Every structure is written in C-alpha cells, then in structure tokens.
Amino acid sequence: MQITNRKKILNFLIQVTIFTSLPLFGFNCMDMGPLLRQPATEFKSLADTGRIENVIPLEDYTAQTEFGFQPKAVPALMNFNQIYHAMLNLTGQTSSGLDSEAGRTYVSVRGSLTDASDINEVTGSGILSTNTLAGEVCNSLLNKESRLMAAQRTFFPAIMFNRGLETVTNGVTTVNMTEAVYLTAASEMALNFWDRSMTAEETALFTAFRNDYFAGLTATERAAAKETKGILLGTCVVMLSAVEDFTY
Amino acid sequence: MSVRILTVLLLSALSFLLPVANAQIATNSDREEAKWLLERLTGVKWRGKDPVLEEVTRLIKLGQRKQAAQLATQQPQFLNVLVKQFALQMSTQDETRRIPLNDFAAMVMGHTRDGGDARELLYGNFSYKGDPEQFGSYRIQNNAVDDIGLSNDHYDSLESSGIDVGKVLTRIDEQMLIVNMNGANISRQNPDPAGLLTSRAWVQAHAVAGTNRRLVEYTFRQFMCVKIEEWADPLANEARIGRDIDRFPGGDNKVFQNTCRACHTVMDGFRGAFANLDYNGRPTNSTFGNTTGADKNLVVNKMNKNEKVYPGGYVTVDNSWVNNADRPGNSALFGWRKPASGEVTHGSGIAQFGRLVANSQRFSQCMAQRVFDSVCKKQLTPTEKAAMLVRLGSQFEQNGYSLRKQFITTATDVQCK
C-alpha cells in the first residue's frame, strides 16, 4: 500500500516536471512563442485565458511574424553539456569527473538531451533525461550536505539528516520536517536555482507535495532517516529540472 | 478530485513559465544583465547566491560592463564549457559537439586563455596538452606516443577526470608526429606544422582516405564560414584539376563544365598544400620517406589516384598550391590580404595555406560570427548580420585577433542581447 502511494507521489512529481515543460515546448506541434513573449502579468489564471493558446490572439502573433518582427531576449536552450555543468554549478558542486555517479548518468543520458539552442528542439525523452540527471546531481548534493555540520551547509542548514520526518518518543510524535522547515529548504533551493523567491502558487504546490509525501508513508517509515533525504531529493529534482534551469 | 489535480498542475505549469516571461521584461535591471552576461560567457547557470554573480552585478551597477565580462571569462566554465564547445564543433566532419575533448579543442582553449593571436591557430608550430605537474591526484593518461600521438586518450582522460582542463593545459612549442621506424614508434617534429590544420583530430576527420580535397573544403567551411557552393567558380582556371575527375561524365563534357568544374577549380588549386599529408591511424607526413603510400616525389598516392579517368589532368608532384579563388567575386568574398610571409596567388605547404586563410578578411568575420553565435544565440536579419560581421570582424582585428577579447566585445555589444 505504501509502495503504491509513494509511486503515486513520484508519478506526480514527474508529471509536474513534464507538464510544466511541455507547454513551453509546444507539445511538438503548438507554437508557444506568443505565450513566452507575454509579460508575466498577463498570466493570472486559466480562467482569464480560457485556453493557453488564446493568451495572445493568433492573428496578432501572425501579423508580428509576417512583418519580420523579432521579439528580443527569447530564452535560448542549453545543450546537453551545458545542462550538466549548469546543474553542477547551481548546486555548488565542481565536476568530480565522468566516473562519478552524476558523471556516469550524464554519459548515459546525454544522447537524449538536445544539442540545439532553439527552445522548440526539446523532446519528451530530453525532459525525462533532464529529470534523471537532476536526480543524480541532487543525490550528490544531499550526500555532500548531509556530511557537513549544519553551519557549514549551503542549502539545508536546518535539516536533521540523521532523523526521520517524525520522531516518536514515549508515544509522543514530534514532527521534524515541519511545513516551515520544509518550505525554508525549498525556498533556499529556489533562491539558489532560480535566483528568486517561490511564488504563492509554487509554495502551495510544494506544501501539497509535502503533505502527500507524509500521507503516503506509515508511521514507521516517517520515522526513518532516509525519508528526510527522500522528500528533499524529490523536491530538488523538480526544482532543478524546471525550465529556467536550462534556458538562458 | 481529478479536476483539482489538473488545476494544480496547470497552475504550476504557468507559475514555472512566469520567470521566463519575466526575464524578457526585466532586462533593464542590473541583476538581470549581470546574470545574462555571466551565463552567456560561461555557458552555464549560476546560483542566485554565488559570490561571482554578486561581483558581476556590482560591476554592472558601476557601469563597468567590460570588467564584468572579463570577470566572467576568468571563470573555469568559460574555457571548459563555452570555448570547448565552440572549438569541438569545428573539429569534425559532422560538426557535432557530442565528442570527447581532442587536441584541436585543447589548442583553441589554451590559445584563447593565453590571449594568443588566433591567426596562429592556422599556421603555428605549437600544441596544447595537460601539464603533469598540475595533475595532482588525478590519473591522466599522458604517454606522448600512445596517448597523444596514436590516440585521443590523453585528452579524453583529461576531460573525463573532472580536472579543470582550461587551467592545466600547457603550450608546447612544437607539433609532433609519430613515425614508425623499423617497427618502433618514435616521436618526430612535424616538418610542416600548421596549428589546427595539422592537429590529430582535424587530420583524422578530413584526411582519412579520400583525395585530400575535404581538407580544403572544410578549412574554408570552418575558418571562413563559406560553404563550397558559395565559392565555386566555373570560370576559374582548371589547370590544377586532377586526373581523377571525369571531364566527360556520361560522355558529355557539358556536365563537367556545368556541375563539376566550378568546385574543382578552386578546391584542386589549393589541394596541393596537403600533398604530403595522410592519416593511417595517425597523421603522417610522406616527406619522412618511410610512408609506403607515397610516390617517388613523396606525394601521397591518393593525390594522383584514378589516373586513367582523365589522363590529361593535373599530376601533383609537390606541395605547391595556387589560389584560383582570386577572380573578382571570390576576391570580394574572401578579402585576401598578403600575409607577412607568402603570397596571395600561390604558395607551398599547409602552413602557407593557413597563413593565406588566416590573414583574409573573411577569417576575421567568420570568427566574429562564430563567437556571436556561441554567445548571443539569436538570429539576425541578413542586413543586420552583414553589418555585424563587418563591425565585429574589424573589432577582432583591432583586438589583436584575441578570441578572449572577442568574446568580451561580443557579449557587451548592443546587438548581442
């Protein structure tokens, strides 16, 4: 039962990552150029837009492109090698060579990652490969941070890696990974990976994820130290695979 | 329930898109500009709290954009990611970057780091390899014969090790070839060294089998950014076209005149430069006299093969070459200029050919274009592009042909962003 729940959560994470990426790259047929070029204030909610492709009326976009208007500063896509080095740099790690876990994963997935800078060149397998690579880089980050004293850590100074999400003493349950602790860790990753704070929507999303993660585990599992790392690993993978981590 | 999940997913998708959209309207902020500059010059993303990003932002705030760009080029990723990929793409026939580091890319990285004159990359007698004194605990394959001369293992292991390649590269003021003498492999100085044009990766990519014509085609393609169909000239002198080119394909001379001749006039004119070069699992030079695949003039056999196709064609007897791209159209296209040593119209060997190419106006413009493409990642209209090439090509020359300075100049150019 627990395994099923955890699979659900993992699937949810993957879906979020894929889903957040697909609109940007057009589902292989839909040009999201207009969406990208709109100021952020245009996106209020889906109710405002009705349909994503209606953010800019199609005829306006066509008129712009027909007359050769090229909007400036459209993000470029990083290629396979850049994505790998960007992930290392974002997590404050220097390359430990292709013989490391992250290095071996990079070698195994780089063929699926793009070599083009055009944002429309991304494929589904490329996104999944990005997730896979982020998994190893994040795992390496967590291993590194968990070995350091709290004050020496960059990302997770408030995390008790040697304890579970909860501790039960004499029948009294103490939550170690409180919502505040968890969101502080997520915020730190947002500030480092994205150079900005999380939005309200993102905060809500990650809060829901935390709660789902807790709900998917038994009390015994919640007390296991590996789950502290597990919840942070899932969060790190999602955040390090976000579109803004491999566009510039 | 499923509607709720869908809504959350849609909202999260939009929230992830917001920063991308925001990035376009916040280009005036110093922070955004600093991030953009640093990312474009290093090819990677930077942590929001990274001290380097903070310092670049400070310099931008002070209006010191050049200094900010200089700082960006001092980061290891500038050489190890951006310049490496800039070079790798030029080093193979496929123009792919999905290959390990090689001697070609190492030479470009090292020369860029040292602020060298980029023209020397086409005729200089030097190479770059890892400095063993800086290897520390890294295990790098470093045998001069087996790992550098006969294989790419040295460069492959440099890259795979995770060492800061751009830092440990050291310049060697010679180019070596591995010669087999009485069954033993020995290292000897290349008699006609020409920078990248005699690097192992380049020779392997373009001199293996064939007729050594691809070496000319790709020199033009990579270092002057001109494809063969753009410089083909049906009216140029055909005297140098080899015997292996049929003058009567299908029994019709018009086919040769209309389709074959145009490319071969120019290509075969220059081909003589490579008369002694071959690749047999290693770059070889037939003037060492121990190559079985050469004739009595020490010209490699492939230069004169298929001699019965058109026996009246040109027979290569030495490494001389002539410039048949000197008629008005091509002269304007390439902007030939007399090298410090050598002539525009003719010469001998690979290094002189490299000097001719490197001193052309087109070389400067091509390097400017390649740097622009690496950093700016944007398409220009044909008019904008033509103006950019002239302006940044000229800047490249004013900067002493320094690739590092060219990256800085380009990244801070108003047209780049």
Contact B274, B212 (CB under 8 A): yes
What pLDDT, in 10s, does the model give residues A70-80? 444 678 999 99
Contact A86 B45 (CB under 8 A): yes
pLDDT of residue B272: 98
Coil, strand or helix at A169: strand
A16, A20, A75 ranked by CB distance to B23: nearest: A75
How far is B80 from B109, CA to CA, in rounded Å?
A: 8
Q: Does the distance separating the beta carbons of A73 and B11 come in below 8 Å?
A: no
Residue A3, Cβ density class (10 Å: 0-12 exposed, 13-18 middle, ≥19 buried): exposed
For residue B364, the surrounding DSSP H or E stretch is: helix B361-376
- Nearest in space to B297 (alpha carbons), one of B306, B305, B287: B287
> Residue A45 and residue B18: Cα distance in Å, rounded?
12
* A143 CB-near residues (< 8 Å, 6+ apart): none
Length of chain A: 248
Q: Please tell me which residue of chain A has the smallest CA distance to B18.
A: A40
Chain B residues touching residue A90 (CB < 8 angstroms): 45-47
The answer to whether B273 touches B213, Cβ cutoff 8 Å, is no
pLDDT per residue, tens digit, chain B (417 aa), is: 343 444 334 434 444 444 444 443 334 589 999 999 999 999 999 999 999 999 999 999 999 999 999 999 999 999 999 999 999 999 999 999 999 999 999 999 999 999 999 999 999 999 999 999 999 999 999 999 999 999 999 999 999 999 999 999 999 999 999 998 888 999 999 999 999 999 999 999 999 999 999 999 999 999 999 999 999 999 999 999 999 999 999 999 999 999 999 999 999 999 999 999 999 999 999 998 766 689 999 999 999 999 999 999 999 999 999 999 999 999 999 999 999 888 999 999 999 999 999 999 999 999 999 999 999 999 899 999 999 999 999 999 999 999 999 999 999 999 998
Q: Which residues of A touch B48 (CB under 8 A)?
A: 191-196
Residue with tokens 């600093």: B34
pLDDT tens-digit series, residues A121-135: 888 899 999 999 999
B417 touches chain A (CB under 8 A): yes
CB contact under 8 A, A246 and B96: no
Is A25 buried (19+), middle (13-18) or exposed (0-12) by CB count in 10 A?
A: buried
Q: What is the ipTM of this complex?
A: 0.88
Binary contact (A46, B25; C-beta < 8 A)? no
- Give the number of beta-carbon pairs within 8 Å between A and B: 168
Measured between beta carbons, the chain A residues lying within 8 angstroms of B21 are 35-40, 42-43
Interface test with A, best of B29, B47, B96, B167 (most A CBs within 10 A): B47
- Show the DSSP H helices in A111-224 as ranges: 124-146, 179-189, 200-215, 219-222
- Are B44 and A247 in contact (CB < 8 Å)? no
Reading the block at residue A206, the tokens are 């990650």
| Chain B residue numbers touching A71 (CB-CB < 8 A) | 24
Q: Which residues of A touch B159 (CB under 8 A)?
A: 98
The answer to whether the Cβ–Cβ distance between A89 and B48 falls below 8 Å is: no
- Partner-chain contact B18 A199, CB within 8 Å: yes
Closest partner residue to A90 among B15, B47, B85, by Cβ? Answer: B47
Residues in chain B: 417
- Quote the pLDDT of residue A18: 54
Instruction: Judge whether B216 and B209 are in contact, CB under 8 Å.
Output: no
B29 in reach of chain A (CB within 8 A): no
Shortest distance, CA B145 to any CA of chain A (angstroms): 24
- For residue B380, give how far its alpha carbon lies from the nearest alpha carbon of chain A (Å): 9
pLDDT bracket for residue A11 (50, 70, 90): low
Place of tokens 């590269």: B169
Residue A67 pLDDT: 40
Q: Quote the minimal CA–CA distance from B16 to chain A in Å.
A: 6
Tell me how close the Cα of A8 comes to any Cα of chain B, in angstroms.
12
Confidence of residue A17 (pLDDT cuts 50, 70, 90): low
Q: What band does A153 get if pLDDT is binned at 50, 70 and 90?
A: very high
Q: Is the dihedral of CA A225, A230, A231, A236 positive or negative?
A: positive
Q: Are B4 and B22 in contact (CB under 8 A)?
A: no
Question: Across-strand partners of B346?
Answer: B322
Confidence at A14, pLDDT banded by 50, 70, 90: low
For range A12-37, the mean pLDDT: 47
Taking an 8 Å cut-off on Cβ atoms, the answer to whether B25 and A15 are in contact is no
* Measured distance CA(A159)–CA(A162) in Å, rounded: 9
- Chain B: give the shortest CA distance to residue A60, in Å: 18
Give the per-residue pLDDT at A151. 96
- Closest CA–CA distance from residue B209 to any residue of chain A (Å): 28
Question: Which of the pair, B411 or A45, is modelled with greater confidence?
Answer: B411
Q: Which residues of A touch B31 (CB under 8 A)?
A: 195
CB contact under 8 A, B45 and A38: no
To test the contact with chain B by mutation, choose from A17, A25, A82, A121 the residue with the greatest count of B C-beta atoms within 10 A, namely A82
- Across B382-394, b (16+ Cβ under 10 Å) vs e yields eeeeeebbeebbe
Q: Which one, of B292, B282, B299, lies nearest residue B188 by Cα?
A: B282
Interface of B with A in 154-173 (CB under 8 A): 159-163
**What's the gap in Å between the CA of A67 and the closest CA on chain B?**
12
**In chain A, which residues have their Cβ closer than 8 Å to the Cβ of B44?**
78, 82, 85-86, 88-89
Distance CA B160, CA B147 (A): 14
Tell me if A43 and B378 make a contact (CB, 8 A cut-off).
no
With an 8 Å Cβ cutoff, are A72 and B45 in contact? Answer: no
Q: What is the average pLDDT score of chain A? A: 79
Q: Is B269 on the interface with A (CB under 8 A)?
A: no
Which residue in B12, B20, B48 is closest to A75 by CB distance? B20
